[in-house]
Chains A and B, each alone.
Chain A
Amino acid sequence: MLFRIDARPGRVATWTLSWILFAAGIVLYFHASGIRHADNPDDKVVPSLSQLGHGISDAFLKADADEQDSPDAANVSLARRFFNSMLWTDTVASAKRFGWSMLLLIPAVILGLHMGMFPLIGSFFLRFILFFDKIIALSVLPILFIAFGIDELSKIMLIVIGVTPTIILDTFNLTTGVPPEQIVKGFTLGANDFGVTYWIVLKQILPRVLNSIRLNLKAIMLFLFAGEMIASPDGLAFRIALLRRHMGMNVIIPCVLWVALLLYLVDLTMRVMNRRLHPWFREA
Protein backbone atom coordinates (compact mmCIF):
# COMPACT_ATOMS: atom_id res chain seq x y z
CA MET A 1 0.00 0.00 0.00
CA LEU A 2 2.75 2.42 1.00
CA PHE A 3 4.67 2.04 -2.23
CA ARG A 4 1.77 2.17 -4.62
CA ILE A 5 2.07 5.02 -7.06
CA ASP A 6 -1.64 4.99 -7.68
CA ALA A 7 -2.63 5.12 -4.01
CA ARG A 8 -5.43 7.59 -3.37
CA PRO A 9 -5.44 8.44 0.33
CA GLY A 10 -8.68 9.98 1.62
CA ARG A 11 -8.91 13.30 3.41
CA VAL A 12 -8.58 11.93 6.91
CA ALA A 13 -5.63 9.76 5.98
CA THR A 14 -3.82 12.65 4.29
CA TRP A 15 -4.42 14.88 7.29
CA THR A 16 -3.32 12.27 9.81
CA LEU A 17 -0.21 11.34 7.87
CA SER A 18 0.83 14.96 7.55
CA TRP A 19 0.89 15.44 11.36
CA ILE A 20 2.71 12.26 12.38
CA LEU A 21 6.22 13.71 12.11
CA PHE A 22 5.20 16.75 14.15
CA ALA A 23 3.82 14.50 16.88
CA ALA A 24 6.90 12.28 16.81
CA GLY A 25 9.18 15.32 17.09
CA ILE A 26 7.31 16.60 20.14
CA VAL A 27 7.26 13.20 21.85
CA LEU A 28 10.97 12.63 21.23
CA TYR A 29 11.85 16.07 22.51
CA PHE A 30 10.05 15.65 25.81
CA HIS A 31 11.40 12.16 26.20
CA ALA A 32 14.95 13.50 25.87
CA SER A 33 14.15 16.39 28.15
CA GLY A 34 12.73 13.99 30.73
CA ILE A 35 15.90 11.90 30.73
CA ARG A 36 18.14 14.94 31.20
CA HIS A 37 15.98 16.36 33.94
CA ALA A 38 16.02 13.04 35.80
CA ASP A 39 19.82 13.46 36.04
CA ASN A 40 19.85 17.17 36.71
CA PRO A 41 16.58 18.92 37.59
CA ASP A 42 18.13 22.32 36.71
CA ASP A 43 19.15 21.31 33.20
CA LYS A 44 18.82 24.23 30.80
CA VAL A 45 19.94 22.62 27.54
CA VAL A 46 16.75 20.69 26.82
CA PRO A 47 14.17 22.67 28.77
CA SER A 48 11.18 20.92 30.24
CA LEU A 49 7.59 21.85 29.58
CA SER A 50 7.36 24.19 32.57
CA GLN A 51 10.68 25.84 31.70
CA LEU A 52 9.44 26.33 28.16
CA GLY A 53 6.21 27.74 29.53
CA HIS A 54 8.17 30.33 31.47
CA GLY A 55 10.30 31.05 28.46
CA ILE A 56 7.28 31.51 26.23
CA SER A 57 5.50 33.78 28.67
CA ASP A 58 8.71 35.77 29.08
CA ALA A 59 9.14 36.10 25.34
CA PHE A 60 5.55 36.72 24.39
CA LEU A 61 4.36 38.76 27.35
CA LYS A 62 7.31 40.55 28.90
CA ALA A 63 8.65 43.80 27.58
CA ASP A 64 12.32 44.14 26.85
CA ALA A 65 14.16 44.42 30.15
CA ASP A 66 16.03 47.50 28.92
CA GLU A 67 12.86 49.45 28.40
CA GLN A 68 12.15 51.72 31.32
CA ASP A 69 8.57 52.78 30.79
CA SER A 70 7.12 49.37 30.07
CA PRO A 71 3.64 49.05 31.53
CA ASP A 72 3.36 47.13 34.74
CA ALA A 73 2.58 43.50 34.05
CA ALA A 74 -0.09 43.26 36.72
CA ASN A 75 -2.67 45.75 35.52
CA VAL A 76 -2.70 45.61 31.70
CA SER A 77 -4.54 43.27 29.39
CA LEU A 78 -2.91 40.23 27.85
CA ALA A 79 -3.12 41.75 24.37
CA ARG A 80 -1.42 44.95 25.49
CA ARG A 81 1.29 42.90 27.12
CA PHE A 82 1.73 40.83 23.95
CA PHE A 83 2.09 43.90 21.76
CA ASN A 84 4.64 45.31 24.19
CA SER A 85 6.56 42.08 24.49
CA MET A 86 10.11 41.82 23.28
CA LEU A 87 9.19 39.11 20.82
CA TRP A 88 6.53 41.26 19.21
CA THR A 89 8.69 44.37 18.94
CA ASP A 90 11.47 42.24 17.47
CA THR A 91 9.05 40.64 15.03
CA VAL A 92 7.84 44.04 13.88
CA ALA A 93 11.40 45.27 13.42
CA SER A 94 12.34 42.21 11.34
CA ALA A 95 9.08 42.29 9.39
CA LYS A 96 9.72 45.88 8.33
CA ARG A 97 13.08 44.95 6.87
CA PHE A 98 11.56 41.90 5.26
CA GLY A 99 8.77 44.00 3.75
CA TRP A 100 11.22 46.49 2.27
CA SER A 101 13.23 43.69 0.73
CA MET A 102 10.11 42.20 -0.81
CA LEU A 103 9.19 45.58 -2.28
CA LEU A 104 12.65 45.86 -3.79
CA LEU A 105 12.03 42.60 -5.60
CA ILE A 106 9.40 44.29 -7.78
CA PRO A 107 11.98 46.30 -9.75
CA ALA A 108 14.02 43.10 -9.98
CA VAL A 109 11.12 41.30 -11.64
CA ILE A 110 10.51 44.21 -14.00
CA LEU A 111 14.18 44.31 -14.95
CA GLY A 112 14.30 40.56 -15.61
CA LEU A 113 11.18 40.83 -17.76
CA HIS A 114 12.62 43.62 -19.88
CA MET A 115 15.94 41.83 -20.22
CA GLY A 116 14.12 38.78 -21.52
CA MET A 117 11.88 40.69 -23.90
CA PHE A 118 14.21 43.28 -25.37
CA PRO A 119 17.46 41.77 -26.64
CA LEU A 120 19.36 45.04 -26.42
CA ILE A 121 18.44 45.50 -22.78
CA GLY A 122 19.28 41.85 -22.24
CA SER A 123 22.75 42.26 -23.72
CA PHE A 124 23.30 45.39 -21.68
CA PHE A 125 22.57 43.78 -18.31
CA LEU A 126 22.94 40.03 -18.58
CA ARG A 127 26.67 39.57 -18.25
CA PHE A 128 26.88 42.10 -15.44
CA ILE A 129 24.04 40.50 -13.49
CA LEU A 130 25.53 37.06 -14.00
CA PHE A 131 28.73 38.34 -12.47
CA PHE A 132 26.99 40.32 -9.76
CA ASP A 133 25.12 37.15 -8.86
CA LYS A 134 28.40 35.45 -8.01
CA ILE A 135 29.36 38.02 -5.39
CA ILE A 136 28.89 36.38 -2.03
CA ALA A 137 26.69 38.88 -0.28
CA LEU A 138 28.19 38.22 3.16
CA SER A 139 31.65 38.97 1.87
CA VAL A 140 30.66 42.54 1.05
CA LEU A 141 29.09 43.11 4.44
CA PRO A 142 32.08 45.13 5.71
CA ILE A 143 31.91 47.28 2.59
CA LEU A 144 28.20 47.80 3.15
CA PHE A 145 28.75 48.84 6.73
CA ILE A 146 31.37 51.32 5.62
CA ALA A 147 29.34 52.61 2.72
CA PHE A 148 25.86 52.71 4.23
CA GLY A 149 26.55 52.75 7.94
CA ILE A 150 25.34 50.04 10.26
CA ASP A 151 21.70 50.99 10.28
CA GLU A 152 18.74 49.82 8.19
CA LEU A 153 20.05 50.62 4.73
CA SER A 154 23.05 48.32 4.86
CA LYS A 155 20.88 45.44 6.07
CA ILE A 156 18.44 45.91 3.24
CA MET A 157 21.29 46.27 0.76
CA LEU A 158 22.64 42.94 1.99
CA ILE A 159 19.36 41.29 1.07
CA VAL A 160 19.22 43.12 -2.24
CA ILE A 161 22.70 41.98 -3.18
CA GLY A 162 22.00 38.46 -2.01
CA VAL A 163 18.61 37.82 -3.55
CA THR A 164 17.76 40.19 -6.39
CA PRO A 165 20.22 38.73 -8.93
CA THR A 166 18.56 35.34 -8.49
CA ILE A 167 15.11 36.82 -9.01
CA ILE A 168 16.26 38.89 -12.00
CA LEU A 169 17.85 35.87 -13.67
CA ASP A 170 14.90 33.65 -12.86
CA THR A 171 12.45 36.13 -14.34
CA PHE A 172 14.72 36.50 -17.35
CA ASN A 173 14.70 32.74 -17.92
CA LEU A 174 10.96 32.50 -17.47
CA THR A 175 10.48 35.34 -19.94
CA THR A 176 12.65 33.82 -22.63
CA GLY A 177 10.86 30.53 -22.07
CA VAL A 178 7.53 31.88 -23.32
CA PRO A 179 6.92 30.28 -26.73
CA PRO A 180 7.68 32.67 -29.61
CA GLU A 181 4.27 31.82 -31.08
CA GLN A 182 2.66 33.72 -28.21
CA ILE A 183 4.62 36.84 -29.02
CA VAL A 184 3.93 36.63 -32.74
CA LYS A 185 0.30 36.04 -31.92
CA GLY A 186 0.27 39.15 -29.76
CA PHE A 187 1.55 41.29 -32.63
CA THR A 188 -1.02 39.85 -35.02
CA LEU A 189 -3.68 40.80 -32.49
CA GLY A 190 -2.65 44.43 -32.56
CA ALA A 191 -0.50 44.59 -29.42
CA ASN A 192 2.69 46.66 -29.51
CA ASP A 193 5.95 45.78 -27.78
CA PHE A 194 4.75 46.83 -24.35
CA GLY A 195 1.36 45.27 -24.89
CA VAL A 196 3.05 41.96 -25.57
CA THR A 197 5.47 42.41 -22.69
CA TYR A 198 2.96 43.29 -19.99
CA TRP A 199 -0.35 41.81 -21.14
CA ILE A 200 0.89 38.56 -22.58
CA VAL A 201 4.29 37.64 -21.21
CA LEU A 202 4.23 39.15 -17.71
CA LYS A 203 0.76 37.81 -17.02
CA GLN A 204 1.83 34.36 -18.11
CA ILE A 205 4.99 34.17 -16.06
CA LEU A 206 3.65 35.90 -12.96
CA PRO A 207 2.61 32.75 -11.07
CA ARG A 208 6.01 31.22 -11.73
CA VAL A 209 7.73 34.41 -10.63
CA LEU A 210 5.75 34.31 -7.39
CA ASN A 211 6.81 30.72 -6.92
CA SER A 212 10.38 31.69 -7.48
CA ILE A 213 10.09 34.41 -4.84
CA ARG A 214 8.48 31.91 -2.50
CA LEU A 215 11.40 29.54 -2.93
CA ASN A 216 13.75 32.42 -2.19
CA LEU A 217 12.01 33.46 1.01
CA LYS A 218 14.54 31.48 2.95
CA ALA A 219 17.45 33.22 1.29
CA ILE A 220 15.86 36.57 2.09
CA MET A 221 15.52 35.56 5.75
CA LEU A 222 19.03 34.20 5.83
CA PHE A 223 20.51 37.52 4.75
CA LEU A 224 18.16 39.40 7.01
CA PHE A 225 19.28 37.31 10.00
CA ALA A 226 22.92 37.66 9.08
CA GLY A 227 22.56 41.43 9.03
CA GLU A 228 20.62 41.50 12.29
CA MET A 229 22.97 39.18 14.14
CA ILE A 230 26.00 41.22 13.23
CA ALA A 231 24.74 44.73 13.75
CA SER A 232 21.30 45.57 14.95
CA PRO A 233 19.63 47.02 18.02
CA ASP A 234 16.52 44.90 17.51
CA GLY A 235 15.01 42.16 15.39
CA LEU A 236 14.43 38.45 15.85
CA ALA A 237 17.96 37.44 14.98
CA PHE A 238 19.36 40.04 17.34
CA ARG A 239 17.20 38.53 20.09
CA ILE A 240 18.33 35.00 19.39
CA ALA A 241 21.98 36.07 19.33
CA LEU A 242 21.49 37.86 22.61
CA LEU A 243 19.82 34.89 24.27
CA ARG A 244 22.62 32.63 23.20
CA ARG A 245 24.85 34.42 25.68
CA HIS A 246 22.44 33.61 28.50
CA MET A 247 22.03 30.03 27.31
CA GLY A 248 18.30 30.82 27.30
CA MET A 249 17.28 27.70 25.46
CA ASN A 250 13.77 27.93 26.85
CA VAL A 251 13.36 31.23 24.98
CA ILE A 252 15.49 30.41 21.96
CA ILE A 253 13.48 27.35 21.02
CA PRO A 254 10.13 29.18 21.01
CA CYS A 255 11.78 32.00 19.06
CA VAL A 256 13.13 29.68 16.40
CA LEU A 257 9.77 27.97 16.05
CA TRP A 258 8.01 31.33 15.94
CA VAL A 259 10.21 32.46 13.04
CA ALA A 260 9.60 29.19 11.22
CA LEU A 261 5.86 29.51 11.79
CA LEU A 262 5.81 33.08 10.47
CA LEU A 263 7.73 32.13 7.39
CA TYR A 264 5.50 29.14 6.84
CA LEU A 265 2.48 31.43 7.03
CA VAL A 266 3.98 33.88 4.55
CA ASP A 267 4.66 30.98 2.21
CA LEU A 268 1.15 29.62 2.69
CA THR A 269 -0.37 33.04 2.02
CA MET A 270 1.61 33.38 -1.18
CA ARG A 271 0.61 29.89 -2.26
CA VAL A 272 -3.07 30.54 -1.66
CA MET A 273 -2.84 33.94 -3.29
CA ASN A 274 -1.15 32.44 -6.32
CA ARG A 275 -3.90 29.88 -6.66
CA ARG A 276 -6.64 32.48 -6.26
CA LEU A 277 -5.11 35.02 -8.62
CA HIS A 278 -4.14 32.48 -11.26
CA PRO A 279 -6.78 29.77 -11.36
CA TRP A 280 -5.43 28.68 -14.74
CA PHE A 281 -2.06 27.84 -13.28
CA ARG A 282 -1.68 24.19 -12.46
CA GLU A 283 1.55 23.56 -10.60
CA ALA A 284 1.46 25.87 -7.61
Chain B
Amino acid sequence: MSSLIPLDNIGVEYKSHGQAPRKVLENLDLEIAAGEFISVCGQTGCGKSTMLRLILGAERPGTGRVLIEGRELPRPDRHRGYVPQKYSLFPNQTVLDNITFGPEMEEFGLWGRLLPRFRSRRKELRHDAMGYLRQMGLQDADAHKYPDQLSGGMKQRVAIAQALIMKPRILLMDEAFSALDPGTRAEMQRQVRHIWADTGTTILFVTHNISEALYLGSRVVVLGRDSPEGSSRVIFELNVPDSARNTSGYPLRDEMERLTRLIEGATDGGQREPETVELREV
Protein backbone atom coordinates (compact mmCIF):
# COMPACT_ATOMS: atom_id res chain seq x y z
CA MET B 1 0.00 0.00 0.00
CA SER B 2 1.34 3.41 -0.93
CA SER B 3 1.42 6.01 1.75
CA LEU B 4 -1.09 8.71 1.04
CA ILE B 5 -0.23 10.82 4.04
CA PRO B 6 3.12 10.34 5.71
CA LEU B 7 3.50 12.23 8.98
CA ASP B 8 7.20 12.47 9.54
CA ASN B 9 8.71 13.35 12.89
CA ILE B 10 6.00 15.88 13.67
CA GLY B 11 6.36 18.31 16.54
CA VAL B 12 3.88 20.99 17.59
CA GLU B 13 4.43 23.58 20.26
CA TYR B 14 1.98 26.11 21.67
CA LYS B 15 3.07 29.30 23.28
CA SER B 16 0.75 30.80 25.79
CA HIS B 17 1.12 34.07 27.64
CA GLY B 18 3.26 33.98 30.74
CA GLN B 19 3.98 30.30 30.41
CA ALA B 20 6.79 28.30 28.96
CA PRO B 21 5.97 27.01 25.46
CA ARG B 22 4.38 23.60 25.68
CA LYS B 23 5.18 20.79 23.29
CA VAL B 24 1.94 19.03 22.50
CA LEU B 25 3.23 16.62 19.89
CA GLU B 26 6.79 15.43 19.43
CA ASN B 27 8.39 12.76 17.25
CA LEU B 28 5.05 11.77 15.87
CA ASP B 29 5.34 9.38 12.94
CA LEU B 30 2.41 7.90 11.15
CA GLU B 31 1.89 6.54 7.68
CA ILE B 32 -1.63 6.68 6.34
CA ALA B 33 -2.36 4.63 3.28
CA ALA B 34 -5.02 5.48 0.72
CA GLY B 35 -8.35 3.96 1.61
CA GLU B 36 -7.54 3.29 5.24
CA PHE B 37 -9.97 3.88 8.05
CA ILE B 38 -7.88 5.01 10.99
CA SER B 39 -9.34 5.44 14.43
CA VAL B 40 -7.37 7.75 16.67
CA CYS B 41 -7.69 7.35 20.43
CA GLY B 42 -5.99 8.97 23.35
CA GLN B 43 -6.69 10.79 26.56
CA THR B 44 -8.29 14.19 26.48
CA GLY B 45 -5.83 16.95 25.67
CA CYS B 46 -3.25 14.63 24.15
CA GLY B 47 -3.33 16.32 20.76
CA LYS B 48 -5.79 14.35 18.65
CA SER B 49 -7.56 17.42 17.30
CA THR B 50 -4.20 19.04 16.74
CA MET B 51 -3.14 16.09 14.61
CA LEU B 52 -6.28 16.42 12.49
CA ARG B 53 -5.66 20.13 12.03
CA LEU B 54 -2.14 19.33 10.82
CA ILE B 55 -3.46 16.91 8.21
CA LEU B 56 -6.07 19.46 7.19
CA GLY B 57 -3.41 22.06 6.69
CA ALA B 58 -5.17 24.36 9.15
CA GLU B 59 -2.04 24.38 11.24
CA ARG B 60 1.61 23.87 10.40
CA PRO B 61 3.92 21.66 12.41
CA GLY B 62 6.88 23.20 14.20
CA THR B 63 9.09 20.38 13.12
CA GLY B 64 8.66 17.68 10.54
CA ARG B 65 6.44 17.59 7.50
CA VAL B 66 2.95 16.54 6.60
CA LEU B 67 2.68 15.43 3.02
CA ILE B 68 -0.56 14.77 1.22
CA GLU B 69 -0.08 12.70 -1.91
CA GLY B 70 3.53 13.78 -1.96
CA ARG B 71 2.91 17.48 -1.58
CA GLU B 72 2.91 19.85 1.32
CA LEU B 73 -0.51 21.52 1.29
CA PRO B 74 -0.42 24.76 3.21
CA ARG B 75 -4.14 25.23 3.70
CA PRO B 76 -7.35 23.25 3.86
CA ASP B 77 -9.06 22.46 0.58
CA ARG B 78 -12.13 20.73 -0.75
CA HIS B 79 -10.44 17.31 -0.97
CA ARG B 80 -10.12 17.04 2.77
CA GLY B 81 -13.47 16.97 4.50
CA TYR B 82 -13.67 18.07 8.10
CA VAL B 83 -16.19 17.40 10.83
CA PRO B 84 -14.85 19.46 13.73
CA GLN B 85 -15.50 18.79 17.38
CA LYS B 86 -17.52 22.01 17.70
CA TYR B 87 -18.65 25.04 15.71
CA SER B 88 -19.13 22.85 12.70
CA LEU B 89 -22.27 24.44 11.27
CA PHE B 90 -22.80 27.95 9.97
CA PRO B 91 -25.24 29.43 12.49
CA ASN B 92 -26.76 31.80 9.94
CA GLN B 93 -27.87 29.10 7.52
CA THR B 94 -30.58 26.51 7.71
CA VAL B 95 -29.69 22.85 7.82
CA LEU B 96 -30.31 22.48 4.11
CA ASP B 97 -28.26 25.55 3.21
CA ASN B 98 -25.46 24.31 5.44
CA ILE B 99 -25.35 21.09 3.45
CA THR B 100 -25.60 22.69 0.01
CA PHE B 101 -23.10 25.43 0.87
CA GLY B 102 -20.10 23.43 -0.37
CA PRO B 103 -21.41 22.40 -3.79
CA GLU B 104 -22.93 25.86 -4.35
CA MET B 105 -19.68 27.56 -3.47
CA GLU B 106 -17.71 25.24 -5.67
CA GLU B 107 -19.95 25.57 -8.70
CA PHE B 108 -20.90 29.20 -8.46
CA GLY B 109 -18.06 30.82 -6.58
CA LEU B 110 -18.33 34.23 -5.07
CA TRP B 111 -20.88 35.94 -7.30
CA GLY B 112 -22.22 33.09 -9.42
CA ARG B 113 -25.21 32.80 -7.11
CA LEU B 114 -26.55 35.91 -8.76
CA LEU B 115 -26.84 34.07 -12.09
CA PRO B 116 -30.35 32.99 -13.11
CA ARG B 117 -29.05 29.46 -13.64
CA PHE B 118 -28.33 29.23 -9.94
CA ARG B 119 -31.97 28.86 -8.89
CA SER B 120 -32.67 25.74 -10.92
CA ARG B 121 -29.34 24.22 -10.00
CA ARG B 122 -30.01 24.92 -6.36
CA LYS B 123 -33.19 22.86 -6.55
CA GLU B 124 -31.17 19.85 -7.67
CA LEU B 125 -28.55 20.40 -5.00
CA ARG B 126 -31.22 20.67 -2.35
CA HIS B 127 -32.66 17.42 -3.56
CA ASP B 128 -29.25 15.76 -3.15
CA ALA B 129 -28.87 17.34 0.24
CA MET B 130 -32.18 15.89 1.38
CA GLY B 131 -30.82 12.48 0.43
CA TYR B 132 -27.81 12.95 2.67
CA LEU B 133 -30.01 14.30 5.43
CA ARG B 134 -32.20 11.20 5.38
CA GLN B 135 -29.17 8.98 5.20
CA MET B 136 -28.03 10.60 8.42
CA GLY B 137 -31.36 9.76 9.99
CA LEU B 138 -32.78 13.27 10.15
CA GLN B 139 -36.37 14.20 9.38
CA ASP B 140 -37.46 16.31 6.42
CA ALA B 141 -38.91 18.76 8.92
CA ASP B 142 -35.42 19.46 10.27
CA ALA B 143 -34.22 20.73 6.91
CA HIS B 144 -35.37 24.30 7.47
CA LYS B 145 -34.27 24.66 11.05
CA TYR B 146 -31.30 26.74 12.12
CA PRO B 147 -28.41 25.01 13.88
CA ASP B 148 -29.25 26.37 17.31
CA GLN B 149 -32.67 24.79 17.05
CA LEU B 150 -31.03 21.37 16.80
CA SER B 151 -29.81 19.06 19.51
CA GLY B 152 -26.10 18.31 19.79
CA GLY B 153 -26.46 14.94 18.10
CA MET B 154 -28.49 16.37 15.23
CA LYS B 155 -25.86 19.03 14.66
CA GLN B 156 -23.18 16.37 14.44
CA ARG B 157 -25.13 14.47 11.85
CA VAL B 158 -25.77 17.56 9.73
CA ALA B 159 -22.05 18.34 9.91
CA ILE B 160 -21.27 14.87 8.57
CA ALA B 161 -23.73 15.34 5.70
CA GLN B 162 -22.16 18.74 5.01
CA ALA B 163 -18.74 17.14 4.65
CA LEU B 164 -19.91 14.04 2.76
CA ILE B 165 -21.72 15.91 -0.01
CA MET B 166 -18.33 17.19 -1.18
CA LYS B 167 -17.15 13.59 -1.67
CA PRO B 168 -13.74 14.36 -0.21
CA ARG B 169 -10.79 12.04 -0.76
CA ILE B 170 -9.84 12.28 2.90
CA LEU B 171 -12.39 12.68 5.66
CA LEU B 172 -11.33 13.90 9.09
CA MET B 173 -13.87 13.44 11.86
CA ASP B 174 -13.29 14.73 15.36
CA GLU B 175 -15.43 12.97 17.95
CA ALA B 176 -18.28 13.12 15.51
CA PHE B 177 -20.52 10.75 17.44
CA SER B 178 -19.84 11.95 20.96
CA ALA B 179 -23.31 13.44 21.46
CA LEU B 180 -25.35 10.50 20.15
CA ASP B 181 -27.36 8.00 22.12
CA PRO B 182 -26.18 4.39 21.82
CA GLY B 183 -28.84 3.42 19.28
CA THR B 184 -28.25 6.37 16.94
CA ARG B 185 -24.55 5.97 17.46
CA ALA B 186 -24.62 2.36 16.31
CA GLU B 187 -26.68 3.36 13.30
CA MET B 188 -24.26 6.16 12.41
CA GLN B 189 -21.31 3.85 12.81
CA ARG B 190 -22.91 1.45 10.36
CA GLN B 191 -23.52 4.32 7.93
CA VAL B 192 -19.97 5.57 8.10
CA ARG B 193 -18.59 2.05 7.57
CA HIS B 194 -20.85 1.73 4.52
CA ILE B 195 -19.76 5.04 3.12
CA TRP B 196 -16.15 4.07 3.64
CA ALA B 197 -16.65 0.72 1.94
CA ASP B 198 -18.60 2.25 -0.96
CA THR B 199 -16.45 5.28 -1.69
CA GLY B 200 -12.97 4.21 -0.65
CA THR B 201 -12.52 7.52 1.17
CA THR B 202 -9.56 7.64 3.51
CA ILE B 203 -10.98 8.33 6.95
CA LEU B 204 -9.41 9.50 10.19
CA PHE B 205 -11.81 9.23 13.04
CA VAL B 206 -11.01 10.60 16.49
CA THR B 207 -12.82 8.98 19.38
CA HIS B 208 -12.42 8.37 23.09
CA ASN B 209 -14.25 5.12 22.86
CA ILE B 210 -11.98 2.14 22.25
CA SER B 211 -14.71 -0.23 21.16
CA GLU B 212 -15.94 2.37 18.68
CA ALA B 213 -12.38 2.76 17.43
CA LEU B 214 -12.09 -0.97 16.95
CA TYR B 215 -15.44 -1.32 15.30
CA LEU B 216 -14.90 1.47 12.80
CA GLY B 217 -11.22 1.43 12.05
CA SER B 218 -9.13 -0.82 9.91
CA ARG B 219 -6.36 0.43 12.16
CA VAL B 220 -6.39 1.91 15.63
CA VAL B 221 -3.78 4.48 16.57
CA VAL B 222 -3.33 5.57 20.17
CA LEU B 223 -1.68 8.86 21.02
CA GLY B 224 -0.22 9.26 24.46
CA ARG B 225 2.55 10.70 26.53
CA ASP B 226 4.93 9.35 29.11
CA SER B 227 4.29 11.95 31.79
CA PRO B 228 1.44 14.39 32.31
CA GLU B 229 3.60 17.33 31.21
CA GLY B 230 5.19 15.42 28.36
CA SER B 231 4.37 15.60 24.71
CA SER B 232 2.38 13.02 22.80
CA ARG B 233 3.36 10.62 20.08
CA VAL B 234 1.93 7.45 18.69
CA ILE B 235 2.32 4.95 21.53
CA PHE B 236 0.37 2.10 20.09
CA GLU B 237 -0.91 0.90 16.75
CA LEU B 238 -3.07 -2.05 15.96
CA ASN B 239 -4.28 -3.34 12.63
CA VAL B 240 -7.74 -4.68 13.26
CA PRO B 241 -7.63 -8.15 11.73
CA ASP B 242 -10.33 -9.29 9.37
CA SER B 243 -10.79 -12.22 11.71
CA ALA B 244 -12.31 -9.79 14.19
CA ARG B 245 -15.25 -9.17 11.85
CA ASN B 246 -17.82 -11.36 10.28
CA THR B 247 -18.25 -11.43 6.51
CA SER B 248 -20.44 -8.31 6.46
CA GLY B 249 -17.93 -6.31 8.44
CA TYR B 250 -19.64 -6.47 11.80
CA PRO B 251 -17.33 -7.00 14.70
CA LEU B 252 -17.32 -10.28 16.56
CA ARG B 253 -18.00 -9.52 20.15
CA ASP B 254 -15.44 -11.80 21.77
CA GLU B 255 -12.68 -10.68 19.48
CA MET B 256 -13.50 -7.03 20.03
CA GLU B 257 -13.52 -7.41 23.77
CA ARG B 258 -10.18 -9.12 23.63
CA LEU B 259 -8.69 -6.32 21.51
CA THR B 260 -10.17 -3.67 23.76
CA ARG B 261 -8.48 -5.27 26.75
CA LEU B 262 -5.32 -5.52 24.72
CA ILE B 263 -5.26 -1.83 23.92
CA GLU B 264 -6.23 -0.80 27.40
CA GLY B 265 -3.53 -3.01 28.85
CA ALA B 266 -0.84 -1.89 26.47
CA THR B 267 -1.54 1.79 26.72
CA ASP B 268 -1.60 1.67 30.49
CA GLY B 269 1.91 0.30 30.29
CA GLY B 270 0.54 -2.95 31.68
CA GLN B 271 0.76 -6.47 30.44
CA ARG B 272 0.32 -7.01 26.75
CA GLU B 273 0.03 -10.07 24.63
CA PRO B 274 1.65 -9.68 21.22
CA GLU B 275 0.20 -12.57 19.31
CA THR B 276 -1.83 -13.41 16.27
CA VAL B 277 -2.98 -9.86 15.59
CA GLU B 278 -0.66 -7.60 13.71
CA LEU B 279 0.49 -5.47 16.52
CA ARG B 280 3.19 -2.89 16.47
CA GLU B 281 4.04 -0.98 19.53
CA VAL B 282 5.93 2.18 18.79
Say whether A104 faces chain B, with CB atoms less than 8 Å apart.
no
Q: Is the CB of B92 within 8 A of A187?
A: no
Given A189-B105, A190-B106, A280 and B92 contact (CB-CB distance below 8 Å): yes
Closest Cβ of chain A to B92, distance in Å, is 5
Cα A180 to Cα B75 in complex, Å, equals 13
* Chain B contact patch, size range: 20 to 34
Q: Is the CB of A188 within 8 A of B81?
A: yes
Interface contacts beyond A188-B163, A192-B110: sample of 7 additional A-B pairs, CB < 8 Å, sorted by A: A179-B86, A181-B88, A185-B162, A188-B76, A188-B80, A199-B101, A203-B90
Given A198-B110, A280-B146, A189 and B78 contact (CB-CB distance below 8 Å): yes
Using a CB-CB cutoff of 8 Å, which residues 86-114 of chain B contact chain A?
Answer: 86-88, 90-93, 101-103, 105-106, 109-110
Closest Cβ of chain B to A177, distance in Å, is 12
Q: Is the CB of B82 within 8 A of A203?
A: no
Partner of A179 from B53, B77, B87, B146 at Cβ < 8 Å:
B87
For A178, give the chain B residue with the smallest CB separation: B87
10 residue pairs of the A-B complex, CB under 8 angstroms, read A184-B58, A186-B105, A187-B78, A188-B102, A189-B78, A189-B105, A195-B105, A195-B109, A199-B101, A203-B90
Closest Cβ of chain A to B27, distance in Å, is 26
Residues of B within 8 A of A181 (CB): 84, 86-88
Say whether B264 faces chain A, with CB atoms less than 8 Å apart.
no
Interface size on A, residues (CB 8 A): 25
- Residues of B in contact with A (beta carbons under 8 Å apart): 53, 56, 58, 75-78, 80-82, 84, 86-88, 90-93, 101-103, 105-106, 109-110, 146-148, 162-163, 166, 168
Q: Is the CB of A200 within 8 A of B84?
A: no
**Max chain B CB contacts within 10 Å: which of A180, A181, A182, A278?**
A181
Say whether A99 faces chain B, with CB atoms less than 8 Å apart.
no
Main secondary structure of the interface of B (DSSP, over half): loop
Residues of B within 8 A of A185 (CB): 82, 84, 88, 90, 162
Closest Cβ of chain A to B114, distance in Å, is 12
Given A184-B84, A185-B82, A199 and B105 contact (CB-CB distance below 8 Å): yes
Main secondary structure of the interface of A (DSSP, over half): helix
Given A184-B56, A195-B110, A189 and B166 contact (CB-CB distance below 8 Å): yes
Q: Give 1 or 0 for each of A101-119: 1 = CB within 8 Å of chain B CB.
A: 0000000000000000000
Q: Is the CB of A188 within 8 A of B90?
A: no
Closest Cβ of chain B to A178, distance in Å, is 9
Say whether A11 faces chain B, with CB atoms less than 8 Å apart.
no
Cα A160 to Cα B264 in complex, Å, equals 64
Residues of B within 8 A of A204 (CB): 90-92
Closest Cβ of chain A to B123, distance in Å, is 20
Say whether A4 faces chain B, with CB atoms less than 8 Å apart.
no
Q: Is the CB of A190 within 8 A of B146?
A: no
**Max chain B CB contacts within 10 Å: which of A190, A203, A281, A282?**
A190
Cα A282 to Cα B93 in complex, Å, equals 14
Cα A192 to Cα B109 in complex, Å, equals 8
Residues of A within 8 A of B109 (CB): 192, 195
Say whether A191 faces chain B, with CB atoms less than 8 Å apart.
yes
Q: Is the CB of A278 within 8 A of B92?
A: yes
Residues of A within 8 A of B102 (CB): 188-190
Cα A24 to Cα B263 in complex, Å, equals 74
Using a CB-CB cutoff of 8 Å, which residues 101-146 of chain A contact chain B?
Answer: none
The 7 closest A-B pairs by CB, nearest first: A189-B102, A190-B106, A187-B76, A190-B78, A179-B87, A280-B146, A181-B87
Cα A279 to Cα B81 in complex, Å, equals 29
Q: Is the CB of A280 within 8 A of B148?
A: yes
Q: Is the CB of A187 within 8 A of B84?
A: no
Say whether A194 faces chain B, with CB atoms less than 8 Å apart.
yes
Cα A276 to Cα B148 in complex, Å, equals 17
For B81, give the chain A residue with the smallest CB separation: A188
Q: Is the CB of A190 within 8 A of B76?
A: no
